[in-house]
Every structure is written in structure tokens, then in C-alpha cells.
Amino acid sequence: MDRLVKRDASQGPLPRPEMASLIGSSSHEIERRVAPMVDRPYRARQVALWIVHRNATSFDQMTDLPKNVRRRLGELFSLDDPRVANLTASRDGSRKYLFELEDGSTVESVAMAETGHSTLCLSSQTGCAVGCTFCVTGVLGAGRNLSPAEMVGQYRVMLRDLETEASRVNLVFMGMGEPLLNAPNLAAALEVLTETVSPRRITVSTSGIVPGIRFLGELERRPKLAVSLNAPNQELRERIMPITRRYPLRELMASLRSFPLERGRRVTFEYVLIRGLNDSDAQADELSRLVGGIPSKINLIPLNEDPIHLPGLTRSDDATIERFAERLRSSRLTVTVRWSKGTDVAAACGQLKGLHQSRSTASDHWRPAAAPSRR
């Protein structure tokens, strides 16, 4: 006769059985997956509405579903979001979130308060292999791709924390990682996000992954495109953005000239100004010629300094920044100077690094590769 062995409480709780997550799935996909577990077809639509549009975190919240249906769904599916391991508030109202993922990896995301709305900066990878010399994330090295659930989860958590509506947020994929090196998962996340946030209020920023730009251009519901440019010629861009060797500036600009822009849309060029490196009058003129003919606007971003990870790099002084901007405007270009928020808590552009990140964590989990075709 088998003996019953009493479980020692010191062993901790019993392991939770593996359950499939519904986070990161579109409404259509959620309906398909839960249909066999509900008693009527419209119940599946109710579940999708609660998850995608009402940001539900448990099936118990779905009070218009019968209790037995909620219990059954809770036994089979999870609605878990990334855990907030740390939250840091900036003096300017920005909030930096350190998210811990299921495998122990961490990423940082930022919510920035704007007039009448908030901008949520999302991460797409746990590190970045692109290696831009002015970016802390890039200097610290590569990590793994985030899943659609992990990207959508950042949005869900920040939306709840800010106690705001989806109609009052802008989303920017400008956090940790190169979004277009994670193009398939990014596309799946965008499919979910655009159910509640207009594509006109979502921006994907890339260092210039040409196949990824083409991939993005083939999406039915395209977000806005931003390109981290930072140099007006191939030689200088190679020095500060090594990815330029793989995707030369000439190819990048050709892909942008053919990118399908809806009426009224423009490509955003981001240009980090670094003292004595890319901020001369001659370079401003060269930049004007480079982007000429592309419907665009240029965001000039004074370098966010980090003496530990970015030694020897300092931002251009205010007079140089203004002169550079005016030089571009004289060529009839639309130019803004974007002063970063959250600098006091290392939440500004190029400062995100996550917890326990160092050069020793760099990995070869993935390498830059052509994004798959949508055809």
C-alpha cells in the first residue's frame, strides 16, 4: 500500500501548473482559443473584450461571465503581466519601471507625463547587440527578444499604474533593444496594441535595420517610423553606429525613400548631438542634403551623458545645439530639440540598462538577420 508523504511546509508552495497566457494575443486569437471552454459564442467575445480593452488581470473580474466559466478559464489560462521589481519616480514626473520577466530577465520602461497625455516608452529586447557608442543599453551588450506578451504586458502595467485610458497615451518603442531585430514578435504586439491605441500614436524607432523597415512597411496597420540617424555620412556613422557596416547609409536612405507613408505622415530622424563629433555647421549642411526629399522631421537630442558607460562623450553646448538647429531650418526642414525627461533617474533616451546588466551578460541568443517577408 502506498504511503502518503506529508509535504514539508519549508519546501514552499506547490509549483503552479504551466498555463498558457492570453496576454499578447489579439481579440480574434483570444476568441479562437477560449471558444471550446465557453457555453455560448458571444462569451468568447466577452473574454477578449475584458483582456484587450478593459485590461483585466484575472478572470474573476469578468463578472458578466458565469462563475463556472471563469473558474474553468482560470484553470487553463493565465493573465500574468511582467512583475514590477522596482519603480523610480523622477522630479519631472516621469516614472521608470524595472520589469522582471518569467525567466528572471529584466527590462526597463518609462512613462513620461505630457500635457493632456502620457508617453509610454516600451522595450523590445533585454539588451541590444547593435552597439551604438552613445547608448548605455548598446554598450552593455545583447540580450534576448521579448515575446508579444512581454511587450504588451509593459503597456498594460503602466496603463493601470497611471490610472489612465488608452486614448490618452502615446506608445514609443524606444526602450531597450532594437525593435526591428525582433520584427515578428513586434508585429504581433502591434496587432494587439492597435486595437486600443491608434497606429498614428505608436512609433517604432530603429537604428536602421533595412529588412526590418521593409517588413514594417508591409504591415496593414503601420505605426510611425523613427530612425536613429546621428551622422550625415557613412564613415562617421560607422564609427558611432557599427550596424552601419551591415546596413550602409546609402541602403538605409533608399529604403526610407520607398517607405509607404500615409497622407500627412513623415519619417522622424533622431540625431543625438555629441560635442565635437557630429555637431558642426558642415555636418548640419551635409545632413540637410542627406534627408532632402523625404517627408520628415528631425528631432535633435542632446546626448544624455553617462561617465561610467560612455566615457569621453559629452553633449553639445546650448549655443551649438541652437546653431545646428537653425542651420537645418534654413534648409526648410522641420526641426525640434528634444530635451529628455527622467535624466535624474537614468530614464532618459539611451540610459536604460535594466538590473544586473554588464558586458559579461552579452550573449549570442540572436544575431542581426533579415526580417521574414509578410507575403
Enclosing domain of residue 268: 83-361
Residue 102 domain-assigned (yes or no) = yes
Band of residue 349 on the pLDDT scale cut at 50, 70, 90: low
Q: Where do the H-state alpha helices sit in 86-169? A: 136-140, 148-162
User: Within this chain, do residues 40 and 150 fall inside the same structural domain, yes or no?
Assistant: no
Cα separation, 132 vs 243, whole angstroms: 8
Place of cell 502591434: 190
User: Within this chain, do residues 128 and 31 fall inside the same structural domain, yes or no?
Assistant: no
pLDDT, tens digit (0-9, with 9 covering 90-100), for 26-39: 999 999 999 999 98
User: Within this chain, do residues 310 and 169 fall inside the same structural domain, yes or no?
Assistant: yes
**SS3 at position 69:** helix
User: Within this chain, do residues 338 and 355 fall inside the same structural domain, yes or no?
Assistant: yes
User: Within this chain, do residues 134 and 207 fall inside the same structural domain, yes or no?
Assistant: yes
| pLDDT-above-90 percentage for the chain | 73
- Position 311 scores a pLDDT of 86
Identify the CATH number of the domain in which residue 236 sits. Answer: 3.20.20.70
Is there a catalytic annotation at residue 121? no
Q: How long a stretch of residues is the chain?
A: 375
What the block records as the C-alpha cell of 266 is: 513623415
Band of residue 13 on the pLDDT scale cut at 50, 70, 90: very low
Identify the CATH number of the domain in which residue 66 sits. Answer: 1.10.150.530
Of 36-40, 93-97, 345-349, the poorest mean pLDDT is in 345-349
How far CA 294 is from CA of 191, 222, 226, 266, 298, in Å, comes to 27, 18, 13, 8, 11
Q: Is the pLDDT of residue 359 over 50?
A: no
Band of residue 113 on the pLDDT scale cut at 50, 70, 90: confident
User: Within this chain, do residues 327 and 307 fall inside the same structural domain, yes or no?
Assistant: yes
φ/ψ of residue 63, rounded to 5? -70, -15
Sheet arrangement for strand 106-114: 83-89, 95-100, 106-114, 117-121, 169-173, 202-206, 224-228, 267-273, 296-302, 334-337
- 275 versus 357: which is more confidently predicted? 275
User: Within this chain, do residues 179 and 213 fall inside the same structural domain, yes or no?
Assistant: yes
Residue 12 domain-assigned (yes or no) = no
| pLDDT-above-70 percentage for the chain | 86
Residue 334 domain-assigned (yes or no) = yes
Cα separation, 269 vs 340, whole angstroms: 16
- Which of 237, 251, 215 shows the shortest CA–CA distance to 130? 237
User: Within this chain, do residues 164 and 50 fall inside the same structural domain, yes or no?
Assistant: no
What is the end-to-end Cα distance of the chain in Å, rounded?
62
Residue 374 domain-assigned (yes or no) = no
- Position 115 scores a pLDDT of 81
Q: Is the pLDDT of residue 8 over 60?
A: no
User: Within this chain, do residues 92 and 67 fall inside the same structural domain, yes or no?
Assistant: no
Q: Is the pLDDT of residue 232 over 70?
A: yes
Domain finish residue from 78, 99, 124: 78
User: Within this chain, do residues 147 and 250 fall inside the same structural domain, yes or no?
Assistant: yes
Q: Is the pLDDT of residue 340 over 50?
A: yes
pTM for the full predicted model: 0.85
Residue in 108, 150, 191, 305 annotated catalytic: 108
Residue in 121, 132, 135, 349 annotated catalytic: 349
**SS3 at position 270:** strand
Band of residue 338 on the pLDDT scale cut at 50, 70, 90: confident
User: Within this chain, do residues 165 and 141 fall inside the same structural domain, yes or no?
Assistant: yes
Mean pLDDT of 122-130: 93
Residue 13 domain-assigned (yes or no) = no
Mean pLDDT of 142-157: 95
Domain finish residue from 33, 56, 78: 78
User: Within this chain, do residues 74 and 125 fall inside the same structural domain, yes or no?
Assistant: no
Number of structural domains (the chain) is 2
Domain finish residue from 78, 104, 124: 78
User: If phi over 0 gives left and psi between -120 and 50 gives alpha, with beta otherwise, what is residue 342?
Assistant: left
Is there a catalytic annotation at residue 349? yes
Q: CB of 243 within 8 A of CB of 177? A: no
- Position 369 scores a pLDDT of 34
